[in-house]
Amino acid sequence: MKRSVEKVFPRHDSPHMVGDGFRVYNLIPGVGVTQERISPFLMLDFNPEIDFGPSKHIRGVGAHPHKGFETVTIAYKGSVAHHDSTGKSGIINSGDVQWMTAGAGILHKEYHEKEFSKKGGPFEMVQLWVNLPAKDKSTPAHYQAIAAGQMGKVMLPDHSGIVNVIAGKFQHTEGPAQTYTSVNLFDIKLEKEGETSFNIPVSHNAALLVVNGNIEVNGEQAKEHHFVLLKNDGEEITIKATDKAVVLFMSGEPINEPIASYGPFVMNTQEEIMEAVKDFQKGKYGVLD
């Protein structure tokens, strides 16, 4: 049975800056989809393509904490570097994904990679926050650096396009990301008139972002930069591109636990939030200049 489209949300016209290096539209929960409705997903920031231009100053976001969830950064265009309070660092380029489990707490900073900053160029990114169940919120912080070549790859019939499987399973191909709950995350690239169909569990909450192009989802039209929320009334999803398109599809088993959030902290109770803030103030997440 096909899933119905619950609502198509156009991109609102009020981007905001995160630091000085990311010009984003907040789609979760910014378009009105609550964290409970789209669980396990907590937040989605979309930086559509923009050319920041060459700069001697490296743009980005300074050191800041996270606790109780995961951040997933998907690089479509441009390069992002990061450092964290565990001493780890890295760079993700076009096609790469950084999957960071904040867990028990971490400080990190994200910024345009040095050489990219010097030259400038197209920059397009998505950051998705994925909740952790209560039993895993104190897991030690760690990263999964997923290069473009490590993705599960499905070549669609009739030269329709390609699906990069970041997490979960698309048809019979699994993605490399290790997740704490059942999550699917697909980077779908379709040629004009290209089409693909796949099934996901009816229990999963599901949505997609039209990064580029225009598509039809189970017969409903969605334009560039639209966010599509799907009902939980079926398993089959068909996406057809009316012109060349890039789509980020996400689905996940909901975490049926209370959500308490305050800025970069996501726990289950306000008492846990207060404890997270105190731990940060006491320096328990480490040190990062």
pLDDT tens for each residue of 67-85 = 999 999 999 999 999 999 9
Q: Which pair of tokens denotes residue 199?
A: 């099934």
Share of the chain above pLDDT 70, in %: 100
Which one of 2.60.120.10, 3.40.50.150, 3.30.479.10, 3.20.20.70 gives the CATH number of domain 5-252?
Answer: 2.60.120.10
User: What secondary structure does DSSP assign to 78-111, as a single string?
Assistant: S-EEEEETTS-EEEE-TT-EEEEE-TT-EEEEEE
For 1-133, strand residue ranges (E) read 5-9, 16-18, 22-28, 41-51, 60-66, 69-77, 80-84, 89-92, 97-101, 106-112, 122-131
Q: Classify residue 137 as left (phi > 0), alpha (psi -120 to 50) or beta.
A: alpha
pLDDT at res. 64: 96
* CA–CA distance, 74 with 110 (Å, rounded to integer): 13
Using CA atoms, how far residue 16 sits from 46, 130, 227, in Å, is 10, 21, 18
pLDDT at 11 > cutoff 90? no
pLDDT tens for each residue of 228-257 = 999 999 999 999 999 999 999 999 999 999
Residue with tokens 């994200």: 110
Q: H or E segment at 30?
A: none
* CA–CA distance, 233 with 180 (Å, rounded to integer): 25
pLDDT tens for each residue of 133-184 = 999 999 999 999 999 999 999 999 999 999 999 999 999 999 999 999 999 9
pLDDT at res. 120: 94
Q: What count of residues does the chain have?
A: 289
Domain ranges of the chain: 5-252
Confidence label for 12 from pLDDT (cuts 50, 70 and 90): confident
Confidence label for 96 from pLDDT (cuts 50, 70 and 90): very high
pLDDT tens for each residue of 30-81 = 999 999 999 999 999 999 999 999 999 999 999 999 999 999 999 999 999 9
125: helix, strand or coil? strand
pLDDT at res. 289: 80
pLDDT at res. 146: 97
282: helix, strand or coil? coil
Q: Which pair of tokens denotes residue 34?
A: 């609550």
Confidence label for 197 from pLDDT (cuts 50, 70 and 90): very high
